[in-house]
Each structure stands twice: as structure tokens, then as C-alpha cells.
A = this chain, B = another copy of it.
Amino acid sequence: MKIKKVCVLGAGTLGTRVALQAALSGYEVSLYDINLKSLKSAKEVMETIVTKLAKASGLESESGLMAIEKITFTKDPKVAVHEADIINESVLEEVSVKTEVWKLFGEIAPEKTIFTTNTSYLLPSMFAEVSGRPSRFCALHFHDVFTAKVVDIMPHPGTDPALIPLLMDFGRSLEQVPVLVKKENNGYIFNTMLMSFIGAAGKLLVNDIASIEDIDKSWMVNFNMPKGPFGILDTIGLETAWHVTKNQPDKASQAFAALLKTYVDAGKLGEKSGEGFYKYPKPKYKNPDFLV
């Protein structure tokens, strides 16, 4: 089968980006959300991204803006899914919400539609049955779409294997590097590694082995990276990090989760709130004098 129409569910950060990239890649696209305001703001975000991308590449933004105009922004599920070849779902990361959405779209989607979820930490098997077509249900997980261009393809045990190469190609058509997660795994590939070294950094901090700055410096200098683990945590958001960390049973993770909680309780959520481990918009680690 050939994918022509892409239906994206949920106009949050990631849904907006997936819908935009699909439109830029030439697909017919609909973006669904229950909230009209979210749809409006999604369109504005898309225009900002297209303008930035054009600036960075030195090209005109016109064709990108035209692609946005062709997207159907709708709160009507039937309009959204009309003739869709594939759905990519990016709604709220809550089991009850995703269950409801997949129940609804499982009933109204055309028979041909492939179902994919963009869940970050949940698993496709949790929604495959309720969608009514478990064999055509798979996780298709984007990271950032425009900067971190990798997409995880993660089947659940009941996914039809024929779906995999098709989703790999679809990922490539969206300018992503597709990677296969052969078995269901919380955190796919990258987040598993990310949370592991961030956990190690947290352990170094709570065990008073080294300071936030020195831990970040070690990472930045050795890997020639613009941020260390605590700078990265500020970008991820400390509330998300707290949620992930508190579910790990070992003593050091629990101690680190408790520390993260003190930041969250103080309203220090990271970059988006203006302060986390560092203060924004000018965090210390961006200072040229940081690495001395």
C-alpha cells in the first residue's frame, strides 16, 4: 500500500511537528485535537518553525507556509480520519486518555488505516486491543522531528511483521532515521540509555561525589557536547525526570527522585520555568568561562 493521507491525533509539541513534517514531505495531512485553541497555536508554531528552517537553509519560507495552509486542522474526528492511510497518535501521556481516543478512532477509521502511537513511556500493547485492529497497531515514536531526526518503530507481540518495512520507509520519507525496537521496551532505545547515564549523574550528586557543575563539565568536555546531564535534565523538564526516576526502586534513584521533588515543589521545573539546576535564559554552562 501507498501512504497518501496522514492523520495526526493531538496538537501538542510532538503532534504539531509530525503533522508539519508530513505536510512538508508532501503528504495530505489532518491534525486533530479536542481543543480549538491548541489547533490554532499549533498552526502558529508550524509557521515559526518553517520560518526558522527557511532562515537556517537560506531558502524562501513560501513553499513551507503553503504546505501548512493545506493541512486540515479539525476537532471533528470523522473529518480528521477521512480516507487516512495512517494515524499517528500524540495525545496526552495518560492511559485513560489514549484508551478513549483509540476506542473512538478504532470505530470510525477506514478499514485501510494503519494505527501508530507516538507514546513516550507507555507501550503499544496497552492500546492495540482496544483499537480493534491489533495486528495493524505499532508504536512510531518521534524524538523532536526537526533536530533529533530519529524515529523508533516498536511493534507489540501481535503486530503484523509486514508493517515494519512499511513504517521504516514512511519514517525515511519524513526525513527521519528509522530504528527498530524489536521487542516492547519502556523508553525505546535512546531514552533507556539517556535515563541510565542521567541516573548515574544523579547518583554522583546525591552521594556527594561531585557538584552539578563538575559532573556537567566532565560530560561536556569528554563528549564535546553543549550540555551535561543536569543541563539536559533542565531541557527535559524536572517534573518528567522526577516521574521517571521515582519509579526506579534502587536507593540512589529514590534519593535522586527526592532531590528532584524539592526542585519541582519549588516551581523549578527547568528551562521552561526559568530555573532548574541552572537559571535561564542564560544558564552558566553556556558561558564561555564555564569550561576552565
Contact = CB atoms under 8 A, between A and B. Distances in A.
A180 interface: yes
**What is the oligomeric copy number?**
2
Interface residues of A, number: 43
Interface stretch (A60-68, A210-218, A263-271): A210-218
B189 A204 contact: yes
Interface stretch (A8-16, A23-31, A46-54, A190-198): A190-198
A199 interface: yes
A183 interface: yes
A229 B221 CA distance: 17
Contact of A193 (B201, B207, B291, B292): B201
B180 A211 contact: yes
A182 B172 CA distance: 47
Nearest to A185: B209
A225 interface: yes
Contacts of A209: 181-183, 185, 189, 192
Contacts of A200: 192-193, 196-197
A150 to B, nearest CB: 4
A288 to B, nearest CB: 12
A197 B181 CA distance: 17
A249 B143 CA distance: 33
A97 to B, nearest CB: 26
A262 B291 CA distance: 40
A179 interface: yes
A214 to B, nearest CB: 4
B150 A218 contact: yes
Nearest to A190: B218
A222 interface: yes
Contacts of A172: 292
A177 B201 CA distance: 18
Nearest to A196: B200
A200 B211 CA distance: 24
A155 to B, nearest CB: 12
Given A148-B221, A182-B208, A193-B204, 9 more contacts: A143-B221, A177-B217, A179-B217, A180-B214, A182-B210, A182-B211, A188-B218, A192-B200, A192-B204
20 contacts: A143-B221, A143-B222, A148-B222, A150-B221, A152-B218, A177-B217, A177-B291, A179-B214, A179-B215, A181-B214, A182-B211, A183-B209, A185-B204, A185-B207, A190-B219, A190-B222, A193-B200, A196-B196, A223-B223, A223-B225
Interface of A: 143, 148-150, 152, 172, 177, 179-183, 185, 188-190, 192-194, 196-197, 199-201, 203-204, 207-211, 214-215, 217-219, 221-223, 225, 229, 291-292
What 5 A-B pairs are tightest by C-beta distance, nearest first? A196-B200, A197-B197, A179-B214, A150-B221, A189-B218
